[in-house]
């Protein structure tokens, strides 16, 4: 049993089809929905998103991200004894997307399950993997966030359909004698279920309810800025650190204005915040590992640096993880 878990590899994957705001605005205009690049950039910071082809599922995106993370960690799939996929867009009702990814990787025999915490899913999954490694239940884990959120969008609702995209990110988390993950903090408050949800379900061979994304954007925005700050501060306190110790804030990539607010509350300059929302929009559980992998591969984030990962999403759920890379 090791006292710590540590990220030893990262990977990510975006589907090929990229739509700029102008591309999306032109497509929406054909069905009478009016939006613009200016509006989307000003209110969200998003400039483009990727949409998966109809035959591509979360497991396909997660598999590609996982493959790259394994390569970066210098591991083979057979070395992995735990796979957790954070997703709200699983391939099937069951089995889990994690089992489908496991089969494609050839990591047969490892534990594999999905975590459903919407946009906080990666933070939840990373915390669960860390706890399992620290108790000796696992030693080498793949933690994946994978989403095809485009499948949940109502393209007649301009207040939501311009915000989201598809993608996946992954990390390899290994047992370690030196500190990687220092502390985490998870929360949920189910009284806010209705402000961000896809209120449909399968019953008797039919989809009942309305299986497209509904969001009260203003309510989500207001809650998000408060709880992200609380989670970040609680995590710092647990680790005996202060905000000024943070080298990089890696927030959920939903809206640049939420990120500005999170950084301001922690008194961190924006050049310590990893921002990729402009490139892929809100990819829910995939957004944090996508941002992390981009910053690691570009050399922005360096080994040993202190990172604050923080997420917030439907449920309402939120949380943060403080770690040394």
Give the residue, chosen from 218, 264, 300, 302, that forms a contact with ligand UT7 under the rule CB under 6 A: 218
Least separation in angstroms between residue 254's CB and ligand UT7 is 3
Give the residue, chosen from 17, 20, 39, 305, that forms a contact with ligand UT7 under the rule CB under 6 A: 39
Least separation in angstroms between residue 296's CB and ligand UT7 is 22
Answer for the pair 303, 295: CB distance below 8 angstroms, yes or no. Answer: no
Least separation in angstroms between residue 28's CB and ligand UT7 is 8
The span of 2-10, 88-96, 129-137, 220-228 binding ligand UT7 (CB under 6 A) equals: 220-228
> Could you say whether residue 158 binds ligand UT7 (CB under 6 A)?
yes
Q: Is 271 exposed, middle or buried (CB count within 10 Å of its CB: 0-12, 13-18, 19+)?
A: exposed
Residues with catalytic function: 119, 252, 282
Q: How far apart are CA 275 and CA 251, in angstroms?
A: 8
> Could you say whether residue 275 binds ligand UT7 (CB under 6 A)?
no
Query: Per-residue contact track with ligand UT7, 108 to 137, x per CB under 6 A?
Result: -----------x------------------
Task: Write b or e for each residue in 39-66: b if 16 or more Cβ atoms lie within 10 A of its Cβ, otherwise e.
Answer: ebeebbbbbbbbbbeeeebbbbbbbbbb
Which residue's CB comes closest to ligand UT7? 217
Q: Max Cα separation, the chain?
A: 59
The span of 10-18, 155-163, 202-210, 225-233 binding ligand UT7 (CB under 6 A) equals: 155-163
Residue 316 neighbours by CB under 8 Å, 6+ apart: 188, 189, 190, 192, 193, 195, 196, 223, 227
Q: Is 9 exposed, middle or buried (CB count within 10 Å of its CB: 0-12, 13-18, 19+)?
A: buried
Q: Which is nearer to ligand UT7, 113 or 221 (CB)?
A: 221
């Amino acid at each position: 049993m090791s006292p710590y878990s540590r990220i030893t590899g990262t990977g990510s994957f975006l589907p090929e089809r990229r739509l700029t705001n102008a591309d999306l605005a032109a497509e929406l205009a054909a069905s009478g929905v009016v939006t613009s690049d200016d509006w989307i950039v000003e209110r969200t910071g998003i400039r483009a998103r990727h949409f998966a082809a109809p035959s591509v599922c979360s497991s396909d995106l997660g598999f590609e991200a996982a493959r790259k993370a394994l390569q970066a960690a210098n591991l083979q799939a057979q070395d992995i004894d735990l796979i957790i996929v954070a997703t709200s867009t699983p391939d099937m009702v069951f089995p889990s997307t994690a089992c489908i990814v496991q089969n494609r990787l050839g990591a047969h025999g490892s534990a594999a399950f999905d975590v459903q915490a919407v946009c906080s899913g990666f933070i939840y999954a990373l915390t669960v993997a860390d706890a399992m490694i620290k108790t000796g239940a696992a030693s080498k884990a793949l933690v994946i966030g994978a989403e095809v959120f485009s499948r949940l969008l109502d393209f007649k609702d301009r207040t939501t359909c311009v915000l989201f995209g598809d993608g996946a990110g992954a990390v390899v988390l290994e047992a370690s004698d030196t500190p990687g993950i220092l502390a985490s903090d998870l929360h949920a408050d189910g009284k806010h279920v209705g402000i961000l949800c896809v209120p449909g379900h399968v019953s008797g061979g039919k989809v009942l309810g309305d299986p497209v994304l509904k969001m009260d954007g203003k309510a989500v925005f207001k809650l998000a800025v408060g709880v992200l700050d609380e989670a970040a501060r609680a995590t710092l306190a647990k680790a005996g650190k202060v905000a000024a110790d943070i080298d990089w804030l890696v927030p959920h990539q939903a809206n640049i204005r939420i990120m500005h607010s999170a950084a301001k509350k922690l008194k961190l300059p924006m050049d310590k915040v990893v921002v990729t929302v402009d490139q892929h929009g809100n990819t829910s559980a995939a957004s944090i590992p996508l941002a992390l992998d981009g910053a690691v591969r570009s050399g922005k984030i360096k080994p040993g640096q202190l990172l604050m990962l923080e997420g917030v999403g439907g449920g309402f759920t939120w949380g943060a993880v403080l770690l040394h890379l």
